[in-house]
Structure 1
Amino acid sequence: MIRIADFILKYLAEQTTVRHVFMLPGGGCMHLVDALGRNKHFTYVCNLHEQAAAIAAEAYGQYTNDLGLVLVTTGPGATNAITGVAGAWIDSTPLLVLSGQAKTTDLIGDKGVRQMGVQEVDIVPMVSPITKYACRVVDPLRIKYELQKALYLARSGRKGPVWLDLPLDLQGAPVDETKLPSFEPPQETGGDGRLDGQMDHLLNLLATVKAPAILVGNGVRLDGAIPQFLALAERLRIPVMTTWKAADFLPEDHPLFVGRPGIVGQRGANFVQQTCDCLVVLGARLDLCQTGFNHPHFAPRAKKIIVDIDSSEINKLEMALELKVHASSGCAIRVLLEKTKCRRLPDFSKWLRICKDWQQKYPVVLPEYCRNEAVPVNPYYFIDVLSETLPADALIVPGSSGGCAEMTLQAIKLKRGQRLQNTPGLGSMGFGLPASIGACLASGGRPVASMIGDGGLQHNIQELETLHRLNLPIKLFVLNNNGYVSVINMQKNRFEGRLVACNPESGLTLPDTCRVAQAYGLKVCRIENQLNLREAVKDVLGMTGPVICEVMIDASVQTAPRLSSRILPDGRMESMPMEDLWPFLPREEYHAAMSAAEGLK
C-alpha cells in the first residue's frame, strides 16, 4: 500500500523530466507537502506567493517544453495561482497544478451554501475555462487514471495547463498501486488527414510566386521542430519573420531573418509581411498584435497558407486564405522536408535582398538614441548595448507587459545559442522576476538577463527573497521610468493629457528599488545616464550571483515604430495599415517601399 500523496510524487518523478516543484505549503495540502519533502527526486522551491509559484512553473515548462509543476493549498492558495495558469493557457505552456482541498465530507456539494470546509473554494469551475482539463479527484481508485489523463492532455496536441484538485482525506488515503486503473490515450491524428496533398499545393504555389515569406511561431517549438524548421527554411531560401514567442529561432545575423512584425514591430518586417505575395504561417496563432485590428488588411497581397494544430485559430481569421492546414507545424515541416529533397526550387534571392535592405535601412535603434552623454538612458539604446554585451549562452527573460516588453522585443539582437522566453499573450505585470527564477532552474543555471519595469517589479517583489535564497545567476535590470509609462502615453494620446494613477503627479508612487533590494541582501547598482553605458552593463554582467541593476530611463521615449492613427483634415481618426507605422515616413519613401517588389520577375 502507498499513500496517494506519495504515489502522485512517485509517478511524476517517473513520467516527467521535472526536477523542481514550485510551491507554498498549507494545511489543505499537508500530505502532498510531506510527500514532496520525502521524495528525493524533486527539489521544492519555496516561493513567497502562489502567483509567483505558478509563473515560475510556467517559465519552467516553457524552457523544458515538458511540464511545469505547482503545488498550492486550498482556497486563497488556489485562487492566487490563477494568473500564472492563464498565461500558460494563452501561450500553450504545459503546466500541472496540484491544489489541496477541504475533506470530501466537508465539501459544499449540493447544499446550496457558499462554503463548508475550512478555506473551501470550488476551484475547478473557476479554472476550467483556462485549462485543458480540471478535475477534483474524490475516488482514491481514480488517482492514477486522472493523473495520467492530466499529463497526457498537458503535453499532447495544443499543449497547455491542467489542474487536479485533491481533497485532504484523499491525499492521505492508502491505495494498492497495482490495482489502480489506467488512462488509455486516444489515437492521435494531429489534423484532418489532408496534409500530404496540401503540402503539394503549397510547393506548387511557391513555384508561381515572386515574393514569398514565412512567419514562424511558437507552435514549432512546442512540436520540438526548430532544427527541422531551420533546415526547411535554408532549403527554400525564403525570408523568415518570427513572432515574439519565436524570436530566438534565428539569430539576428542569419541571412534569412528579416525581423519581427506586429502592431509594435520592426518597420522592415512589416513591409515584408504587407507586400509579400505568398505568406506561409507556421505555428503562429495570429493574434491581433500580429495582424492588426482589421483582418482583411493583414498581408493583403499574399496568398496565405495557415498551418495550425488548432482549427479554431484558423477559422477565427476573417480574411481570405489560400490554404487552411489543420495539422501540427512539426508534421507539416517534416512532410515539406521530404517533398523538397529532389525538387527544383525557385530562386527568391532578389526578393530576399529587398527584405534585407529594408531591415538594414529601418533599424529600431536610431543613431540619435546612442549619445554618450549625461542624460537619462534611452531604453532602446540600453537594449542595444545589452544585446552586444550578453554572452552567447544567455537566457533572456523580459517582462511580459508594457514598454519594457515591447521595446525589448523590438530592439534586441539575438545571437546564435541564446534563448528568449516570455508570456506575451496575457501580458501581465509581475512575470519577469518569478519567470527568471523558473527559467534559470529549468536551464540548469544558465546566466539570465531580465528586463522589467519599476512598476511591474512591485507585483511580485517578494520573490527577491527567493532569488537571494537560491543565489541564482540572474541579472535583473529594472528600467525605472518612475511610473507606468505605457499608461502615461495612452492617457496623453487618448484623453487630452489627463493623467490618472500612472506617476507621482497623478497618485502613483513606487519605492526606491536599490534600497528595497539591499534589504533583501542582494547586490545592487544604478545606471544614472548614458555615460560609459557599455562599460556599466559589462560590469553588471561580470558580477557573480544575482544582481539588481536599476536603470534610470528617459520617460519621454515612446514606443516606436508602432501602429497608430492620424487625424484627417475633417477631424476624424484614421487607423493606419500595418505597413504604415508611426512615426510616419515621407509619403514618397513609403510608396517606394510599397512598390519595391512589383518589378520582380
Structure 2
Amino acid sequence: MRVADFIFKYLADSGVRDVFMISGGGAMFLNDALGQEKRIRTICNHHEQGTAIAAEGYARATGKLAVASVTTGPGGTNAITGVIGGWLDSIPILFISGQVKFSTSIASRPELPLRQLGDQEINIVDIVKPITKYAVMVTDPQKIRYELEKAIHIAMSGRKGPVWLDIPINIQSAEINESDLENYVPVEEKTVLPQDEIAALYRKFLTAKKPVVIAGHGIRLADAVESLDQLITKLKIPVLGTFEGFDMLPSDSPYFSGRIGTIGTRSGNIVLQNADFVLCIGTRNNIRQVSYNYENFARRADTVAVVDIDPAELQKNTIRITDPICCDAGVFLKEFLAAAEASGVPDFSSWLQWSIERERKYSVVPQAEKGMPGVNPYHFTRILTELLPEKSIVSCTNATPSLALFQSGIVKKGQIMYCNSGCAAMGFGLPAALGGAVAAKNGELTICLEGDGSLMMNMQELQTVRHHNLNMKLFLYNNNEYCSIRQTQDNFFEGRHSGCDNGSGVTFPNWKVLSAAFDWRYEEICSAEEAVAKLPAILSSEGPVFVEVKLVPGYRFEPKLSSRRLPDGSMVSASLEDMFPFLPEDEMKQNIYQG
C-alpha cells in the first residue's frame, strides 16, 4: 500500500471517523487515500482557516483528537490561525499537509538560504513549530507509522495541543509493507504524584472559612467533569466558572456562584474577592481572567492554590500563588476527594448561602428600553439558553456573542459551550460550530452564536453546513458594526471612529439575501417578545436555520472591569469586584462577608 493509504487506514483503525480537509495538488495522494477510506467521513471546507477551526470545534465537542488535511503552500499558511487557537487553548489536532516532492524542496538543500525551490512550496514546518507541540516533515516512507504514533501521542499527552506532519508528494505515493513499519514506543515518563502537597493543601482547607473552587477548562481536557461534580457535592462550597470552563457547572447547581474575570459576572468576582481559600483547577489564569491589576486577585485569600499540568503556568509573574501543584486536573480531583472522605469536611453552609444570594441578586440581565428598536444581546441570550435542551452544543464567536453567553447564559447539565479564548479570532463561531455539528452523532442540536463582523470572515462554511444538512441554528447578532472596537474608540478617542461602522468604512450585506444564496431557511428576531414567540419553533425544526437577531443600537458590555478616575484626575485599575457600572459605597460594604 501507499504511505497515504496507510495514514488514513491507521487513523480509521484508531477510531477516527471524521477528517476536515481541502484538496490540493500537493496533497493529491493524501486526498485520494482519504476518499478511499470508507470508515472516515470527509468534511470538505471552503477555506483552510475553516478547516482548522472546524477541527478545533470537533475536538472540543468530542474530547478526542481531531484531524485536518491541507495542501502545500497557502493551504498550510491559511490554516495557521486555527493552529494558534488550538495551541493556546490546549486542543489536540493532527494536521497533515501535502508538500512538494523532497528533491525539489528547500529541505533537500539546507546549505542554501533558498526561499523556495518547488512549485507553490513553503517551509511550513518551521512556520508552525512555535505554535505546535510537534512538527516534522516525513522524509522516509518507512518512518510513517513511527511519526504518526509519535505525533498523536504528543498531541494527547500532558498539556494537549496541535501537531503537524508534512508529507512530500513522493513520500505520499511511496509503496510500503505495513508489517515492516517501525512503531513509536513512548519514553516512559516518571510521573510523581504530589501527594504531600495535596495533603498539605487539604489541611489548609480544613482551617478555611470561605473556600471557593475555580473550575477551568483543564478539567474537561482531563475528562474529569464527573470528578468535579463528585468533589463539589462532597465539599459543598461555592464554585466559580471560567471563560473556557463555564459549561461544566449547570446554572441550577446549588454551588454555582457566578463566573469570574474582567468580563465575568459581578457575583462571581465578589465571591472570589471575599474568599480566604481559592482553589484554581485546570485554569491558567490568563489576563482576561485575573485583570491587569492581578496583584489584587483573591486579595483576602490566605491560600491561592493553582493546579495545572503545565509547570510554566505555575511560574508566571502574575497572581500570587501560595500552593502551586503541577498535576493533571483529573488526578488532583480524585486525590482531593479522597482526602475529603478520609478527613471530613467542615460546614460552610453560611458562606455558601451568602455566595448564592450574591449570584441571585446580580444575575438580572438588561433589557432594551421600551420604544427602542431591537433586542438587548444579554436579554436575548438569556431567553435562548433557557430554551435550549440538555446535551446541545453551543459555539460562539468572540465579542458580543461570547460576552453575552458568559455573563447571562444559562447552562444545563450535559451541554458543551465553547469559544476560543487565547486567540480570540473573528471568524471562529461558524466553522467551530460546524465541527461541533459533525461531532453530534446522535443529532444533538448545535447552536452557533455569531457576530456580523465575524461571519464575514468565514461565511463560506455556510455551504459546508448546507451540503451536509447539519442540525445547526445560527443566530447572527446584528449590530451593524464592530461593537467592541466601537466601544474602545468611544472610550479612548472621544468617539472618533475608524474602521468599525458604516460611517468609518465597514458595511455588511443583506443577510436575508445572503442566507438565501446558501439555501438556508431565514428568520428574523427584532424584539424580546419575538424571541419568546419564535424560538421554540426554530429550535425544534430540522436542518440549518439562519436567524438574524437585530440588536438594540448603542448597547455596552456591562458589567465589566474598568478604570476608576480619582479626585485628582488620575486613573487607577479597579479591583475585580469593583465592576462598572460602579456600585454605591454602601452596597460595596454589604458585599463583604461578615460570617
Where does residue 152 of structure 2 map in the other structure? Answer: 151
Secondary structure, in 3 states, of the residue corresponding to 1:397? Answer: strand
Where does residue 576 of structure 2 map in the other structure? Answer: 578
CA distance in structure 2 between the aligned counterparts of 1:323 and 1:74, rounded to whole angstroms: 46
Secondary structure, in 3 states, of the residue corresponding to 1:70? Answer: strand
CA distance in structure 2 between the aligned counterparts of 1:512 and 1:319, rounded to whole angstroms: 47
CA contact (8 A) 1:430 1:456 kept: yes
Deviation per residue, 1:316-358 (Å, 9 max, x gap) = 1434322110111111111122222232210100000110010
Q: Which moved more, 1:441-450 or 1:333-342?
A: 333-342
CA contact (8 A) 2:372 2:552 kept: no
CA distance in structure 2 between the aligned counterparts of 1:29 and 1:373, rounded to whole angstroms: 57
Deviation per residue, 1:373-402 (Å, 9 max, x gap) = 663111111001101211223211111x11
Deviation per residue, 1:66-99 (Å, 9 max, x gap) = 2111010000000001111110111101100000
Unaligned runs of 5+ residues in structure 2 are: none
Where does residue 61 of structure 1 map in the other structure? Answer: 59
Distance apart, 1:575 and its partner CA: 1.2
Distance apart, 1:112 and its partner CA: 2.1
Correspondences of 1:129-144 after superposition (within 5 Å): 129-144=130-145
Correspondences of 1:168-567 after superposition (within 5 Å): 168-190=169-191, 193=192, 195-302=194-301, 303-366=303-366, 369=367, 375-399=373-397, 401-444=398-441, 445-567=443-565
Deviation per residue, 1:482-517 (Å, 9 max, x gap) = 010110000000111110010001111111111111
CA distance in structure 2 between the aligned counterparts of 1:404 and 1:436, rounded to whole angstroms: 13
Where does residue 124 of structure 2 map in the other structure? Answer: 123
Which amino acid in the other structure matches residue 418 of structure 2?
A: Q
Where does residue 46 of structure 1 map in the other structure? Answer: 44
Q: Cα–Cα, structure 1 residues 214 and 317, in superposed 2: closer, same or farther, change >3 Å?
A: farther
Unaligned runs of 5+ residues in structure 1 are: none
Correspondences of 1:62-77 after superposition (within 5 Å): 62-77=60-75
CA distance in structure 1 between the aligned counterparts of 2:546 and 2:570, rounded to whole angstroms: 46
Distance apart, 1:139 and its partner CA: 1.1
Distance apart, 1:183 and its partner CA: 1.2
Q: Which moved more, 1:274-283 or 1:334-343?
A: 334-343
Deviation per residue, 1:510-564 (Å, 9 max, x gap) = 1111111101111011112333320122232132210000011113110111000
CA distance in structure 2 between the aligned counterparts of 1:420 and 1:570, rounded to whole angstroms: 44
Secondary structure, in 3 states, of the residue corresponding to 2:406? Answer: helix
Deviation per residue, 1:217-271 (Å, 9 max, x gap) = 0111111111111101110111111212211211101001111111001000000
CA distance in structure 1 between the aligned counterparts of 2:70 and 2:222, rounded to whole angstroms: 29
CA contact (8 A) 1:145 1:181 kept: yes
CA contact (8 A) 1:373 1:530 kept: no
CA distance in structure 2 between the aligned counterparts of 1:515 and 1:26, rounded to whole angstroms: 31
CA contact (8 A) 1:364 1:561 kept: no
CA distance in structure 2 between the aligned counterparts of 1:555 and 1:131, rounded to whole angstroms: 41
Distance apart, 1:406 and its partner CA: 1.1
Q: Cα–Cα, structure 1 residues 68 and 165, in superposed 2: closer, same or farther, change >3 Å?
A: same
Q: Which moved more, 1:414-423 or 1:223-232?
A: 414-423
CA contact (8 A) 2:293 2:573 kept: no
Which amino acid in the other structure matches residue 332 of structure 2?
A: A
Q: Which moved more, 1:564-573 or 1:473-482?
A: 564-573
Distance apart, 1:403 and its partner CA: 2.0
Secondary structure, in 3 states, of the residue corresponding to 1:524? Answer: strand
CA contact (8 A) 1:371 1:530 kept: no
Q: Which moved more, 1:499-508 or 1:373-382?
A: 373-382
Tell me the TM-score normalized by structure 1.
0.96
Secondary structure, in 3 states, of the residue corresponding to 1:449? Answer: strand
Which amino acid in the other structure matches residue 225 of structure 1?
A: A
CA contact (8 A) 1:454 1:513 kept: no
Secondary structure, in 3 states, of the residue corresponding to 1:244? Answer: coil
CA distance in structure 1 between the aligned counterparts of 2:319 and 2:46, rounded to whole angstroms: 46
Distance apart, 1:140 and its partner CA: 1.1
CA distance in structure 2 between the aligned counterparts of 1:311 and 1:496, rounded to whole angstroms: 43
Where does residue 87 of structure 2 map in the other structure? Answer: 89
Where does residue 105 of structure 1 map in the other structure? Answer: 103
May I ask how many residue pairs the two structures share in their alignment? 590
Tell me the TM-score normalized by structure 2.
0.97
Q: Cα–Cα, structure 1 residues 387 and 479, in superposed 2: closer, same or farther, change >3 Å?
A: same
CA distance in structure 1 between the aligned counterparts of 2:115 and 2:127, rounded to whole angstroms: 14
Identity, % of aligned positions: 40
CA contact (8 A) 1:485 1:555 kept: no
Distance apart, 1:281 and its partner CA: 0.6
Which amino acid in the other structure matches residue 123 of structure 2?
A: D
CA distance in structure 1 between the aligned counterparts of 2:379 and 2:97, rounded to whole angstroms: 44
Q: Cα–Cα, structure 1 residues 306 and 317, in superposed 2: closer, same or farther, change >3 Å?
A: farther
CA distance in structure 1 between the aligned counterparts of 2:553 and 2:50, rounded to whole angstroms: 28
Q: Cα–Cα, structure 1 residues 62 and 327, in superposed 2: closer, same or farther, change >3 Å?
A: same
Q: Considering only aligned residues, what root-mean-square deviation do their CA atoms show, in Å?
A: 1.3
Q: Which moved more, 1:174-183 or 1:530-539?
A: 530-539
CA contact (8 A) 2:401 2:449 kept: yes
CA contact (8 A) 1:93 1:159 kept: yes
Secondary structure, in 3 states, of the residue corresponding to 2:575? Answer: coil
CA contact (8 A) 2:368 2:552 kept: no
CA distance in structure 2 between the aligned counterparts of 1:208 and 1:181, rounded to whole angstroms: 55
CA contact (8 A) 1:379 1:407 kept: yes
CA distance in structure 2 between the aligned counterparts of 1:265 and 1:237, rounded to whole angstroms: 22
CA distance in structure 2 between the aligned counterparts of 1:259 and 1:439, rounded to whole angstroms: 26
Which amino acid in the other structure matches residue 136 of structure 1?
A: M
CA contact (8 A) 1:256 1:352 kept: yes
CA distance in structure 2 between the aligned counterparts of 1:84 and 1:540, rounded to whole angstroms: 30
CA contact (8 A) 1:364 1:410 kept: no
Secondary structure, in 3 states, of the residue corresponding to 1:96? Answer: strand
CA distance in structure 2 between the aligned counterparts of 1:571 and 1:318, rounded to whole angstroms: 27
Secondary structure, in 3 states, of the residue corresponding to 1:381? Answer: helix
CA distance in structure 1 between the aligned counterparts of 2:370 and 2:523, rounded to whole angstroms: 19
CA contact (8 A) 2:400 2:477 kept: no
Q: Which moved more, 1:246-255 or 1:194-203?
A: 194-203
CA distance in structure 2 between the aligned counterparts of 1:342 and 1:75, rounded to whole angstroms: 58
CA distance in structure 2 between the aligned counterparts of 1:318 and 1:42, rounded to whole angstroms: 45
CA distance in structure 2 between the aligned counterparts of 1:539 and 1:551, rounded to whole angstroms: 15
